[in-house]
Amino acid sequence: MNKRVLIVEDDEDISMIERDFLEMEGYTVHIENEGIGGYKEALKGTYQLILLDVMLPGMDGYEICRKIRNKVDIPIIMVTARVEELDKLRGLGIGADDYIVKPFSPTELVARVKANIAQYNRIRERQRKLEPAEEAEIQLGNIRINSKTHRVYVGDVEVDCKHREYELLLFLMQNPEIVFSKEQLYEKIWGMDALGNIRTVAVHINRLREKVEEDPANPQYIQTVWGAGYRFQAEK
């Protein structure tokens, strides 16, 4: 399989470093140096992953990520010079799968790219192997997931869950009442162990609660077990 990565980066030196290290690992790389061109290129759907700078001329990385997230189902890694936690969480909140802060180690960047693509491929492979006789729907309480169509319903209303949100909810509903630590969930869903930031888990948990809980501040289903992690509380 041809491994293709799209880099959207206006700093030529940084984009060349990213390209060179990825090409040494066998990736085919295309570079766009401004936001609108990056947005249009991303919509072609011919890439396995997007490295997306935050500060771009024409259209910033946040806007690109928000606009393509429901149209392009591949990993998106935000590349940012901003170190504030809110900036990082903002990118994750609009659908980015991971982020890396400048200046970064090129080897770490390559490791993040490999890990995100590998996890994405593992998820897709599990879906392809889903046997026709296997139960496609899981319903606990008022929440229902169809694992063949990737659709989530609260009551009769379909809710829009991003890629990682869906996988996180599915995993918790497949393992009700079991408490998982942030580290366990990060390794299971993101598949990167210590490569990333486990605060990503809390961000996605909070976004799931906003979508599936009647009162996100007092969740009925996705519960925090203080000092231990999270569990999906099946309705009695």
Task: Please name every residue paired with 98 in a beta bridge, in sequence order, or none if there are none.
Answer: 77
**Band of pLDDT at residue 80, cut at 50, 70 and 90:** confident
Torsion sign, CA atoms 126, 130, 134, 140:
positive
CA 164 to chain centre: 4
Q: Hey, where are the domains in the chain?
A: 4-127, 137-232
Structure-token match 């296997």, residue found: 134
Q: Cβ(190)–Cβ(204) under 8 Å? A: no
Q: What is the mean pLDDT of residues 175-189?
A: 87
Give the tens place of pLDDT for each residue, 111-145: 989 988 888 887 777 666 654 444 578 889 899 99
Element (H, E) at 224: strand 222-225
Q: Cβ(151)–Cβ(169) under 8 Å? A: no
- Residue-level pLDDT at 83: 60
Give the tens place of pLDDT for each residue, 26-72: 999 999 999 999 999 999 988 999 999 999 999 999 999 989 987 88
Report the range of poorest mean pLDDT among 102-111, 135-144, 175-184: 135-144
Q: Which CATH superfamily is domain 4-127 in?
A: Response regulator (3.40.50.2300)
CATH of domain 137-232: 1.10.10.10
What pTM does this model have?
0.65
- Residue-level pLDDT at 186: 85
Eight-state DSSP code of residue 209: H
Question: Best-predicted range by mean pLDDT among 75-84, 137-146, 189-198?
Answer: 137-146
Q: What is the mean pLDDT of residues 147-172?
A: 88
Name which residue leads in pLDDT, 64 or 148.
64
